[in-house]
Amino acid sequence: MFVDVVFWVMTVVAVVMGAAVFVVDSMARATYALALSFVAVGVQVLLLHQDYVGVIVILMMVMEMAVMAVYMVMFMGMNPALMPMSMVHDKRKALAAASVVFLTLAAGALLIPWPTRRGQPSSDTTRALGEALMGSKMLVMTVVSPVMVATIVAGIVIASKRSRYDRLGDDLRGAADHSADPQRGGVGR
Amino acid sequence: MTLQTVLLLAAALFSIGLYGAISQQVVVMVMMGLELMINGLILAAAGFWWFLFPHPSGQVLLMVIIAAMTVEMAIGFAVATLLHRDHEADMTDMAGDLSE
């Protein structure tokens, strides 16, 4: 009973806040609406007995939305909470596409005769996840880890203002031009 | 709380995200739409896991989805920074370099 009440409350929060992201007229409000929607989904993942994943979703999304808010203040050059905005194109087609997708998915969810549950969950799902990641599913960890490192490197390379490729050319063999650098830096090239 | 209700909610979140990803013009808002779609995926995967096959390997799949979401956000922010730096653009319509 308690679980059902929490589930339905979180369902309403997740959907209303998710829709609010594209309805409210400021980016700051949209960011916090999305954060709330994610927290609601995180709580539902907790209700589905995936303690670790649920907590990760909540923590990660709250931090991510905080970063996003800072990002918007940085780049939009305005106080995003005070700036009304509506920047959409093809609204009608987008609404139609989204409606068709929802109806198709909902029909699938309701009409497919889902099988009954196979197997029983372990008593401590977090421990089971840890043992899977460090045991039989270690390949997943060994693949995700380099992907994360590559993401960090790629993010910095894409976003950095003036890298060694700008100074030394694509093959890194050009003459160093430090004229546009605020500080010379480097290792004496 | 049944598998059907969880999947319905996931479908709703996915569709709202799809609407945003298609219709929004600001790059960051498009990213928010993508996030919402992945949000629905996380919930659907969690529902399938609990109601159909509560084996630890399903949780590992969820971790992969979350990792994909992190990568999307990090690279998305970096690309938006580059766009802004390069031609003061924060709208998708202003970033038509590859179509020219």
Domain extent, residue B60, equals: 3-88
Q: What residue has token string 């993010």?
A: A155
B94 assigned to some structural domain: no
Identity of the residue numbered A42:
G
A116 assigned to some structural domain: no
**B44-62 residue pLDDT tens:** 999 999 999 888 888 898 8
Domain extent, residue A149, equals: 124-174
Helix pair A27-47, A51-76: axis angle to 10 deg: 170
Q: Distance from A189 to chain B by nearest Cα, in Å? A: 26
pLDDT surpasses 80 at B63: yes
A97 assigned to some structural domain: no
Note whether A68 and A19 are same-domain residues.
Answer: yes
Q: Using CB atoms, which residue from A18, A110, A114 is nearest to B13?
A: A18
pLDDT-based confidence at residue A170 (cuts at 50, 70, 90): confident
| B40 vs A78: which has the higher pLDDT | B40
A169 assigned to some structural domain: yes
Question: What mean pLDDT is reported for chain B?
Answer: 86
Note whether A78 and A2 are same-domain residues.
Answer: yes
- Distance of alpha carbon A27 from alpha carbon A70, whole angstroms: 11
Number of domains chain A contains: 2
Of A151, A160, A162, which to mutate for an interface test with B (greatest number of B Cβ within 10 Å)?
Answer: A151
Number of domains chain B contains: 1
Q: Are A125 and B62 in contact (CB under 8 A)?
A: no
> What pTM was estimated for this model as a whole?
0.85
Q: Using CB atoms, which residue from A15, A85, A118 is nearest to B53?
A: A118
Of the candidates A26, A43, A142, which has an alpha carbon nearest to the alpha carbon of residue A85? A26
- Cβ atoms within 10 Å of B33's Cβ, excluding its own: 23
Q: Distance from A38 to chain B by nearest Cα, in Å? A: 7
- Cβ atoms within 10 Å of A156's Cβ, excluding its own: 12
Question: What mean pLDDT is reported for chain A?
Answer: 84
- Asked if the C-beta of A109 comes within 8 angstroms of chain B's C-beta atoms, the answer is yes
A77 assigned to some structural domain: yes
Of A56, A83, A110, which one is at a domain's C-terminal end? A83
Give the pLDDT of residue A187. Answer: 63
Of the candidates A21, A40, A34, A102, which has an alpha carbon nearest to the alpha carbon of residue B23? A21
Note whether A68 and A7 are same-domain residues.
Answer: yes
A92 assigned to some structural domain: no
Of A68, A83, A98, which one is at a domain's C-terminal end? A83
To 10 degrees, the CA torsion angle through B61, B67, B73, B79?
Answer: -110
- Distance of alpha carbon B73 from alpha carbon A136, whole angstroms: 29
- Asked if the C-beta of B26 comes within 8 angstroms of chain A's C-beta atoms, the answer is yes
CA B40 to chain centre: 8
B93 assigned to some structural domain: no
CATH (domain of B47): 1.10.287.3510
- Distance of alpha carbon A7 from alpha carbon B78, whole angstroms: 36
